[in-house]
Amino acid sequence: MKTATRPGPPSFGRVLMVATGMLMLELTLIAVGLAAFEATQESSEHRGYAFELGYLPLATPFVVLFGGLGAAVLVVPTLVLAGSLGRRFGRGSEAWWWVVAAAVLIAAGGSLLTGLTFLRSVPVTLAAWPALAAWILPAALVARLPRRWLLRGIALWGTLAVFATALLGGLAFATGVLEGYRPPAVTRGELVGTWEDGRGGTLELAADGTATADGLMDPSGFAPSPGEPVETCTARGTWTFAAAEGWGESVVTDLPDCLFDPWQIGGEDGRVALRQWDVDGEEAVGLTPAP
């Protein structure tokens, strides 16, 4: 009569593949959440939820890269450390709580190394610690299981989870639970006055259509290195208001020596702002009404 034998621990290659699949799934779900968040934020162009989701295929190479790298340098060491802790301090090396303890320790080392080496910020390092532990732990707990169906299960249920999460996000926007960003509606009269950039520069828009820039940062120049003075421009010219329904409202300034694109209307109701965006979609110059 044959006796049932307990399956041995999974091989290194299987652990690596399962951990990679789990980390890729987590990163994809995070990307879907970020797409929903970005759709609610102000940007240089109208980026709805569906538009943001369209970027997900472009992120696939990075998801694979970081998933494999995280599995090799974070999840596998976590399982090795968990086994050592179990043998040293408790009965057996397979108890799940040793995986939790090991993930916290590995995350502490990883966040300390990357945070202080590259970011050089103690608050960011402290914030990265629990986030990294939360990323490692599910992959480590699943990768330690010896079951044969893990890879297929991750592929199948992971794909369903991603589609379900994306669908829930779409329903949240469709039902108004989440609202995509829309710029505030303004009139020409609301734009008349002095606007400041927070660096000492101002733009005065007069009711008669004249405009005066004083010390505004010139977005056409190269970004200054830390410690270098910011290139500014001072000029007098004219301005017009390009009205539109929703997206597209802007302020067009004609100022000699100040090569500004049309200023996009941004901000929110009660806190209107004028924006200049760079080629990467980042804010180059932002103006708010002077108090």
Burial of 231 (0-12, 13-18, 19+ CB in 10 A): middle
46 — pLDDT class (breaks 50, 70, 90): confident
**The length of the chain, given as a count of residues:** 291
Residue 191 has pLDDT above 50, yes or no: yes
Position 94 scores a pLDDT of 66
- Positive or negative CA dihedral for 193, 197, 200, 201? negative
For residue 158, what are its two tokens? Answer: 């992971």
What is the CB neighbour count within 10 angstroms for residue 16? 17
247 — pLDDT class (breaks 50, 70, 90): confident
Average pLDDT over residues 18-24: 95
How do residues 195-224 score in pLDDT, each as one tens digit?
Answer: 998 888 999 999 999 999 998 887 665 555
pLDDT above 90 covers what percent of the chain? 46
4 — pLDDT class (breaks 50, 70, 90): very low
Cα distance between residue 201 and residue 214, in whole Å: 6
5 — pLDDT class (breaks 50, 70, 90): very low
How do residues 129-157 score in pLDDT, each as one tens digit?
Answer: 899 999 999 999 999 887 778 888 999 99
Are residues 32 and 174 in contact, defined by beta-carbon separation less than 8 angstroms?
no
pLDDT, averaged across the chain:
85
How do residues 255-283 score in pLDDT, each as one tens digit?
Answer: 887 888 899 999 988 889 999 887 777 78
Helix, strand, coil distribution of the chain in percent, nearest 5: 50, 20, 35
* 117 CB-near residues (< 8 Å, 6+ apart): none
Position 1 scores a pLDDT of 45
Residue 66 has pLDDT above 60, yes or no: yes
The radius of gyration of the chain from alpha carbons, rounded to an integer in Å, stands at 27
Question: Would you list the DSSP string of 192-246?
Answer: -EEEE-SSS-EEEE-TTSEEEEEEEE-TTSPPPPTTSPPPEEEEEEEEEEE--SS
Are residues 37 and 161 in contact, defined by beta-carbon separation less than 8 angstroms?
no
How do residues 69-97 score in pLDDT, each as one tens digit?
Answer: 999 999 999 999 998 888 888 665 568 88
The residue type of 28 is T
Are residues 222 and 228 in contact, defined by beta-carbon separation less than 8 angstroms?
no
